[in-house]
């Protein structure tokens, strides 16, 4: 496995790869072990082989060397020798690390609309992003901020690049059980809520029951927690204290040095 600091042109031709994105501050990442585990797990799924953790860490260190401001870091695992005419051939995955400025923090809650869509192989954070970006584009052109996916069974699954959590009137946090990406921020929030003794559930959530919830929140590695003000015509109370509770739960996991 080799590493590089730019995305290869071959990705534009086959787009056969997977990745993880993380927030790096002062050389540390909250949930780093989970990001590394994801990369290795997904590499076994996509390429049939794992990754050298030390090499991945070294590639990230090289990419962030000298950085003083917080960064969004993306680690992409690809195989430049992948040939779609011979997809069964053995492959040697490579790692490409790219950096960018973090998205601006915004106190504005998200307004989203639902769309019938499910990602291919939803448990893997792969680079097949056309469908979700197309749905996000349609939603934003219609005046919304983002999109929330509903699968063919009528169950809510995930947002375009985020997981969703619902809050009930009896102070329970509900996570949809439909196939979706197991997000790192989501796992950190869930872990923190459990440690704090909060009531949580993972269960099917149908689009029809969205009006029954008190609130809704998006979780993402680059913006850990963001309130949702409405889904379609359903409006939610934006409670700063609930948002703060979720963020505190996320931050209970200490950041790890790369």
Provide the domain count of the chain: 2
Say yes or no: 131 and 203 in one domain.
yes
Say yes or no: 75 and 116 in one domain.
no
- Integer-rounded Cα Rg, in Å, for the chain is 19
Say yes or no: 118 and 92 in one domain.
no
Say yes or no: 143 and 215 in one domain.
yes
User: Which two structure tokens, joined as six digits, stand for 237?
Assistant: 């109370």
1-10, 48-57, 94-103, 160-169: which has the minimum mean pLDDT? 1-10
Are 199 and 174 a contacting pair, CB within 8 Å?
no
- Tell me what the pLDDT averaged over the chain comes to: 95
Confidence at residue 106, expressed as pLDDT on a 0 to 100 scale: 75
**Containing structural domain, residue 172:** 110-256
Confidence at residue 130, expressed as pLDDT on a 0 to 100 scale: 96
Averaged pLDDT for residues 12-37: 95
9 has a pLDDT exceeding 80: no
Handedness of CA 160, 100, 8, 40 (dihedral sign): negative
Say yes or no: 139 and 16 in one domain.
no
Averaged pLDDT for residues 190-216: 98
Say yes or no: 181 and 60 in one domain.
no
Say yes or no: 68 and 187 in one domain.
no
Averaged pLDDT for residues 19-28: 97
What CATH number should be reported for the domain holding residue 11? 3.30.470.10
Handedness of CA 3, 37, 147, 117 (dihedral sign): positive
Q: CB count, 10 Å around CB of 150?
A: 22
Q: pLDDT category, 6, cuts 50, 70, 90?
A: low
Q: pLDDT category, 58, cuts 50, 70, 90?
A: very high
Say yes or no: 146 and 252 in one domain.
yes
Residue 68, CA distances (Å) to 9, 24, 92, 101 in order: 29, 10, 33, 11
7-21, 28-42, 116-130, 217-231: which has the minimum mean pLDDT? 7-21
User: Which two structure tokens, joined as six digits, stand for 229?
Assistant: 């003000």
> Which among 74, 101, 128 is the end of a domain?
101
3 has a pLDDT exceeding 50: no
Averaged pLDDT for residues 55-82: 95
8 has a pLDDT exceeding 90: no
Interval 73-89: pLDDT, tens: 999 999 999 999 999 99
Residue 36, CA distances (Å) to 14, 19, 178, 225, 234 in order: 24, 10, 24, 21, 37
Are 165 and 174 a contacting pair, CB within 8 Å?
yes
Residues 135, 141: Cα–Cα separation, whole Å: 10
> Which among 101, 126, 151 is the end of a domain?
101
Confidence at residue 5, expressed as pLDDT on a 0 to 100 scale: 55
User: Which two structure tokens, joined as six digits, stand for 154?
Assistant: 């009528």
Beta strands in the chain (DSSP E): 3-4, 17-25, 28-30, 71-78, 94-101, 110-116, 146-150, 156-159, 163-167, 172-176, 199-203, 215-219, 226-231, 234-235, 255-257
107 has a pLDDT exceeding 90: no
* Angle formed at CA 5 by CA 59 and CA 82, multiple of 5 degrees: 95
């Amino acid at each position: 496995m080799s590493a590089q600091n730019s995305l290869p042109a071959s990705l534009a031709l086959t787009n056969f790869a997977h990745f993880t994105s993380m927030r790096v501050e002062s050389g540390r990442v909250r949930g780093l072990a989970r990001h590394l585990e994801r990369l290795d797990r997904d590499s076994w799924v996509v390429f049939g082989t794992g990754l050298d953790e030390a090499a991945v860490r070294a590639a990230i260190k090289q990419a962030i060397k000298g950085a003083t401001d917080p960064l969004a870091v993306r680690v992409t695992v690809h195989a430049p020798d992948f040939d779609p005419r011979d997809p069964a051939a053995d492959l040697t995955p490579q790692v490409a690390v790219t950096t960018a400025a973090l998205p601006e923090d915004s106190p504005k809650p998200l307004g989203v609309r639902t769309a019938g869509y499910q990602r291919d192989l939803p448990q893997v954070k792969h680079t097949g992003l056309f469908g979700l970006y197309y749905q996000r584009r349609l939603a934003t052109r219609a005046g919304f901020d983002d999109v929330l996916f509903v699968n063919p069974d009528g169950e809510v699954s995930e947002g375009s690049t985020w997981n969703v959590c619902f809050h009930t009137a009896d102070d329970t946090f509900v996570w949809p059980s439909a196939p979706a990406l197991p997000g790192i921020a989501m796992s950190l929030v869930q872990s923190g809520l459990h440690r704090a003794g909060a009531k949580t559930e993972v269960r099917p959530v149908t689009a029809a029951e969205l009006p029954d919830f008190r609130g809704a929140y998006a979780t993402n590695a680059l913006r850990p927690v963001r309130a949702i003000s409405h889904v379609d015509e359903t409006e939610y109370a934006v409670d700063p204290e609930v948002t703060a509770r979720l963020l505190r739960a996320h931050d209970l996991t200490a950041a790890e040095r790369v």
